Amino acid sequence: MTRIALFLSSMVPLALAAPAAAQSTDHEMHGSTPAPAPVAEPSAEPPSCPPEHAAMGHCTPEPEPMDKSGPAMDAMDHGAMSPSDPDCPPEHASMGHCTPKAAGTMEAKGGASGTDLPPGDATAPAPPSDWYADRVYSRAEMEHSRHEMMKENGGQTVAFISFNLAEYQARKGGDGFRWDGEAWYGGDINRLTIKSEGEGVFGEGVEGAEVQALYSRAIGPYFNAQAGIRQDLGPGPDRTYATIGFEGLAPYWFEVEGALFLSNKGDLLGRLEGYYDQRITQKLILQPMAELNFSAQDVPETGTGSGLSDVELGLRLRYEIVKEFAPYVGVEWARKVGDTGRYARAAGEDASSVSFVTGIRAWF
């Protein structure tokens, strides 16, 4: 009995192991191989600034090391791509949001240009010299074309004639007339200027007139320096003067003019005049005007006393039918002062007068 019990106990493990062995053998016959257990790999640290966050401006990605042997670096070496384009960072270019500028363009070479430059007093960038037209036309043709363009934009020669005053004067003792005009020929810098002014009495002719021939040169955006000669005309003594003066546009839009005159007899005279255009409407303009004359000494031959010799104040209202043609009406007060007034009274003339005027202001 003891031997039978030992035999049965040894057969139990064999009976239990037989089905498992059969299953393994059956799977091998069908070519199935059990899959190996997955091997856990160390997880990579997530990026601190993903591209989608960088595109929205939430963070700034760290620059990646550049492969100096890759095709991108070869393209940079040949000037095909700008290594640092502030308008198109690498992370935006990689997502197709922009295209880096070529290294040969002006923007890539010098950054901002033209009106994009920040304010300052840095040296202006050199003008472009690679005009496309040079590839089509010859050098001689392009030089001629550029010369004409510069001439038309500041170097052209212009003629101009204006009559600031051309008027009839109604006054006590005899109605008269007066003119004040200017003409010049030249460019923006150098000009030949002719000035003329005078007055007279109807039926008696011209009382006094002068003509000036001047060289005028621009000394700034708003002023011209002038030098030349002046010749007096009329019934008075013959006088020729060396002249030096200025004219221009003063602050607050005052037109001013001044001159010194040295005669061939040694007489030194001076003049200062100005006017202002006060627009009431686009076409209606009120113009106050003043003129002061001085003398360094008494000149009995011309009836001029030393110091301030005479003053003229006028107020004229004109209507511009067009810019070049404007009729006007107004009033003018004139007075000879000091010794000049004494000379006038001694000759039987009034030292002061008031005139109502009407005339035309024109230029072309």
The pLDDT value given to residue 232: 95
Domain assignment present for residue 208? The answer is yes
So what's the pLDDT on residue 258?
Answer: 97
pLDDT(230) > 70: yes
Residue 97 has a pLDDT of: 75
DSSP helix, strand, coil percent of the chain (3-state; round to 5): 25, 40, 35
pLDDT band at 8 (very low <50, low <70, confident <90, very high): low
Q: Which of 151-155, 201-205, 229-233 has the highest mean pLDDT?
A: 229-233
Can you give the pLDDT at residue 17? 46
Q: Is the pLDDT of residue 353 over 60?
A: yes
- Counting residues of the chain whose pLDDT is more than 70, the rounded percentage is 75
Give the Cα separation of 173 and 76 in Å (integer).
Answer: 92
Q: Measured between alpha carbons, how far is 54 from 91 in angstroms, rounded to an integer?
A: 8
pLDDT attached to residue 337: 95
Q: Is residue 98 part of a domain?
A: no
* 22 — pLDDT class (breaks 50, 70, 90): very low
Residue at 62 is within a domain: no
pLDDT digit string, tens, across residues 293-329 = 999 999 999 999 999 999 999 999 999 999 999 999 9
Is residue 286 situated within a structural domain? yes
Q: Show Cβ contacts of residue 78 under 8 Å, excluding neighbours closer than 6 positions.
A: none
What's the mean pLDDT when you consider all of the chain?
Answer: 82
Residue 128 lies in a domain: no
Give the domain extent around 182: 160-363
Query: What pLDDT score does 164 carry?
Result: 95
Please check whether residue 284 lies inside any domain of the structure.
Answer: yes
Q: What confidence score (pLDDT) does residue 63 get?
A: 61
Pairing of strands 205-218, 223-233: antiparallel
Q: Which amino acid is at 315?
A: L
| 84-93, 104-113, 286-295: range with lowest mean pLDDT | 104-113
Distance CA 65, CA 43 (A): 22
In a domain, 83, yes or no: no
Q: What would the DSSP string read from start to end of 54-97?
A: HHTTS--PPPPPP-TTSHHHHHHHTTSS-S--TTS-HHHHHTTS
CB atoms inside a 10 Å sphere around CB 63: 9
Name the token pair of 85: 């384009």
CA nearest neighbour of 259 among 227, 218, 284, 235: 227
Unique residue bearing structure tokens 């008696």: 204
* CATH code of the domain in which 199 resides: 2.40.160.40
Spatial CA neighbour of 257 closest among 302, 212, 308? 212
The answer on pLDDT for 45 being more than 90 is no
Nearest to 352 by CA among 336, 332, 331: 336
Task: Please tell me whether residue 115 adopts helix, strand or coil conformation.
Answer: helix
Residues 89 and 85: their CA atoms lie apart, in Å, by 6
DSSP reduced 3-state for 327:
strand
Report the number of distinct structural domains present in the chain: 1
**Residue-wise pLDDT tens digits, 175-214:** 999 999 999 999 989 999 999 999 999 988 899 999 999 9
The answer, yes or no, to whether residue 264 has pLDDT greater than 90, is yes
Token code pair at residue 349: 């003339």
pLDDT at 71 over 50: no
Mean pLDDT, range 266-282, rounded to an integer: 97
C-alpha–C-alpha distance, residues 197 and 260, integer Å:
16
The pLDDT > 90 percentage for the chain reads 54
206 burial (CB, 10 Å; 0-12 / 13-18 / 19+) is: middle
Q: Between residues 257 and 73, which one has the greater pLDDT? A: 257
Give the residue-averaged pLDDT of 267-293: 97
Query: What is the rounded distance in angstroms from the CA atom of residue 12 to the CA atom of residue 69?
Result: 72
Report pLDDT for 155. Answer: 79
47 pLDDT higher than 90: no
pLDDT-derived band of residue 91, with 50, 70 and 90 as boundaries?
confident
Domain membership flag for residue 86:
no
